[in-house]
Structure 1
C-alpha cells in the first residue's frame, strides 16, 4: 500500500481535530441545554406547587380533600401538561390524574425523570404540609416530551454538524496543506533538476515560510558546495591534462626526432636519459595524485609516535642549508614542542613548506621556523621575507595545481602545484589546520596541531 501523502495526513488530522472539537462542543451544549430545562421545570413546578397547596389548604384527611377537589380539578384544567397524584399519610391514593403511570415516584424533594412508551415526565414529590409529619403527599408530573424531542433533534444536528464539519475541514485542509506545502514541491523540483550542468539553481529564501527558510538556506548551501566541488573537479581534470600534455608532447617529439635517422649510441643514451627525467616527473605526479585521492577518502591514517618537533625541524634545516647558502638565505628555528604524529608525513609537509619558502625568498632574506605551545596544542609557523601574496590569492593557495607565480612554466618537472595541497591533507589527517598569512614584505604559513591525537 502506498503511504499516505503529507497533505492527506494533514487533511485527516484537521478533520479529526474539527470532529473532536465539534463533538465536545455539541456534548457540552446538550448538557447545558438539559440542565437549563431542568432548572426551568423546577421553577415551574415550584410555582404550581404553591398554587396547589393554596387550593388544598387544610385538606388533612380524605373528607376535607373531597371538599376541595373541584378547585384542584379546575386548577389542573389550566395546565394540560401537568398531572397530579395525591396520597394520604397511609399511602391511599386520594386523587390521580395520571392513572396510566404506574411507577410511583419517591418523596425526596428532588426532580426525577419518568418515561413510558410515548412520553417523558419530570416527577416532583413533596408533602402537602411540610411542617406536618402526617401530611398527605403531592406528586407533580410535568410532561417534558417536547423537551426530549428538542434534545433529540439537537443531538441529530450535532452529529450532522460533526460529520459536515469534518468533511468540510478535510477538503479545506487538503487544499490548505497542498498550498502550504508548495515550497516543498518547489524544493523537489529544484532537486530533480540538479545535474552536473545545472548546479546554479537556488531556492528563493525570502519567499519561503519561516519554518522552511532554514531548510531552504541549507539546501542552497548544499547546492553551492556541490557546485564548488564540481567546478574544482572540472578544474582538477583540466589541470591534470594541462600538466601531462607538455611532458607527453616532449617525449613524443624527442623520440620522433631521435628515430628520424640512425644515430650514435651516445645520442640514444642521452635521449633515453632525457625521456627518463620526464617519466620520473610524470610518475611523481601520479603518486602525488594518488596520495591526495587517499586523503580525500579518509585513507590517510598517520602512525602515532612521540616526536620532538625541534629535532625534526633542525634536521630539515640542515638538509636545506646548502641550498640556502647558495641563494644567500639564512635559516633559523625558535621554540620547541612535543607531538604524537607520523614522522615521515610531517617531514614531508614541513619539507614542502621550506622548499616553497626558499624558492620565494630573495637573496639576503631569511626563513624562520617558529614552534610554540598553546593551551589547545601547538603552533608551528614558517615565515620568509620577500614579496607578499595578494589577499585574493590566499584562499586558493592550497588548491591542487594552483601556483601563485604567474611566471610558472607549464609542465614544470620540479613543481606541479601539489605540494601545498599535500601538506594540507597531512595536517588535516593529524587533526590540525593550516593557513597562510601575508604582508607586503613577508609570508607566513601557520600550522595548528593538537598535542594529543
Structure 2
C-alpha cells in the first residue's frame, strides 16, 4: 500500500504546479507577442518595398511591356536577398518569377499570408500593381522568414526548459519552505508523543508559535492542563480511597484476630460481630456514595420531576435533625417559601448533607438557618451557620471528594468520609443548578440556585 503524501510534499507539488502554470502561461503569451511583432515587422518591410517596385513597373500592362522593366526589377530585388517576386496578369498568367520557392495561386486572397515549403516558412504578400484597376496585374512578394522561425523555435524550447527548471526549483524550494514552516507542527507532534502520565506538565511555548498555530497551541496546552488536573485528581482519589479503607479494614482484621485468639462465649461473639457490622455498613455506604458520584460524572443521573414545596421538605428535615441540634445546643430555623420541579429524594439528600455539615461545625449556642426564595425563574436555597471561618484557599476544593477543610484527618471515622458535599454538588448539577460557598467573619453560607 502506498504511503500517504505528506503535507510538505503536497505543498511542494502545489508550488511546482502553480509555478509551471504561471511560467507556461507567461511563455505562451510572450511567444504569441513575438509572433505578432515579427508579423508586423514583415508587413512593414514588404510595404516599404512596394513603392519602388511599383515605380519600376510603371506603365506595364502586358508581358511584353514587362520585358522592358525586367532589369530594373531585378536590380531592386538584388538589394533584398530574402525577397522574391511573382508578377501575374489580370488573367492569372505568370509573367515573372524571380526563383520563388513556392508558387502562389492566382485566386489567393489579397493580403499577407504565411506559407511553408520543405520546412521553410515565407510571408506571401498579394496586392494589385495598380490599386483600384480591375485589370491591374497582381504582385506577390515572398519574404523568407526562416530566421524568425528559428528564433521562435528557440524561444519555445527556452520556454519549456524554463517551465521545467522553474517547476523543479520551486518544488525543491517549496519542500524546504514547507518543511521549515511546518516545524512548529512537528514540534507539537513530538511533544504530544512524549506526553505520558509522568510528563503532563509539558507545555508548548506559545510565544514561539506562528499566528496560525497560536489558537491550536493554546487549545493543546489547555488539553494538557485538563489531563494533568484529571490525572492528579485520579491519583488523589486512589490515595484517598486507600486512606479511607485502610483503617476500617485494619480494625476488622485486628478485631477478628483478637476474637479468634481464644474461645469465647456467645455474647462476646455477638458483640464482636456487631462491631464489625458497623464498620462494614460504613464501607458499604462509602462504596454506594462512590457509585453515585461515578454515575453523576458520566451524566447517568436522571432526576424525577415533580412539584415540590421546599418549605415542607425543609421542615421535615429540620424535624429529623432537631434531636441532634438540641444535643449540640444549636438552634434550627427556616425562612421563606419556594416551589420547583425536582427529585424529592435527591434534593432531600443534598439538603440533609448541608444540614449535617452545618451542625457538625456550629459551636454550642450557635444557629443554623435555612432561607428559601424565588425570583426571575430561579429558586435560591441558603444554608447558613456560624462558626470558624473557612480559609479562602480551601473554598474552591470544598466539593472535592474526600476533601476536608480541617487538615487533621480523622482516620477510621465511620461517620464522615468527605463525600457529602461532592454528592450535594452532583445532585444540584443534575437538576441544572449551581452551588457555591461563602465564608467570612465567622459566618459560612452555602448558596444553591435551581431553575424553577
Would you say same fold, with TM above 0.5? yes
Show the counterpart of 1:144. 145
Q: Is the 8 A contact 1:367 1:385 kept in 2?
A: no
Structure 1 residues 427 and 79: alpha-carbon distance in aligned structure 2, compared to 1, 3 A threshold: same
Deviations 1:88-110 (A, max 9, x none): 22222222224441343766553
- Is contact 1:314-1:333 (8 Å) kept? no
Which SS does the other structure have where 2:28 is aligned? helix
Residue aligning to 2:46 = 45
- Structure 2 residue aligned with 1:207: 208
Specify the alignment match of 1:332 in structure 2: 334
Output the CA distance in 1 between the equivalents of 2:374 and 2:5: 61
> Given the superposition, is the C-alpha separation of residues 58 and 232 from structure 1 closer, same or farther in structure 2, using an over 3 Å criterion?
same
The residue number in structure 1 matching 2:410 is: 409
Structure 1 gaps, min length 5: none
CA distance, structure 1, for counterparts of residue 134 and residue 380 of structure 2: 107
Distance 1:103 1:309 in 2: 113
Contact 1:329 / 1:358 at 8 angstroms: preserved in 2?
A: no
Q: Deviations over 1:27-83 (max 9, x none)?
A: 111111111111111221221223322332333444443332222111111111112
Structure-1 residue corresponding to 2:371: 369
The runs of at least 4 aligned residues of structure 1 exceeding 6 Å deviation read none
In structure 1, how many angstroms separate the alpha carbons of the residues matched to 2:389 and 2:129? Answer: 117
* CA deviation map 1:322-359 (0-9, x unaligned): 433443223213241322x3222222122212222232
How far is 1:415 from its partner? Answer: 1.0
Task: Kindly report the root-mean-square deviation, in angstroms, between the aligned alpha carbons of the 2 structures.
Answer: 2.3
Give the superposition deviation at 1:402: 0.1
Moved more, 85-94 or 313-322: 313-322
Count of matched residue positions in the alignment of Structure 1 and Structure 2? 449
Q: Is the 8 A contact 2:433 2:448 kept in 1?
A: yes
Q: Secondary structure of the equivalent of 1:115?
A: strand
Q: Which moved more, 1:324-333 or 1:236-245?
A: 324-333
Give me the whole-angstrom Cα distance separating, in 1, the residues matched to 2:311 and 2:194: 55
Where does residue 87 of structure 1 map in the other structure?
Answer: 88
Please give the TM-score of this superposition, normalised by the length of structure 2. Answer: 0.92
How far 1:125 sits from its partner (Å)? Answer: 1.4
Per-residue CA distance 1:290-315 (angstroms, 9 max, x = gap): 21122223322323333333433333
Q: 5+ unaligned residues in a row in structure 2: which ranges?
A: none
Q: Is the 8 A contact 2:85 2:100 kept in 1?
A: no
1:103 to 1:138, Cα distance in 2 relative to 1, 3 A: closer
With over 3 angstroms needed to count, the CA separation of the structure-2 counterparts of 1:381 and 1:133, relative to structure 1, is farther
More displaced 10-residue stretch of structure 1: 64-73 or 260-269: 260-269
When normalised by structure 1's length, the TM-score is 0.92
| CA spacing shift, 1:335–1:81, aligned 2, 3 Å | farther
State the match for 1:174 in structure 2.
Answer: 175
| 3-state SS in 2 of match to 1:391 | coil
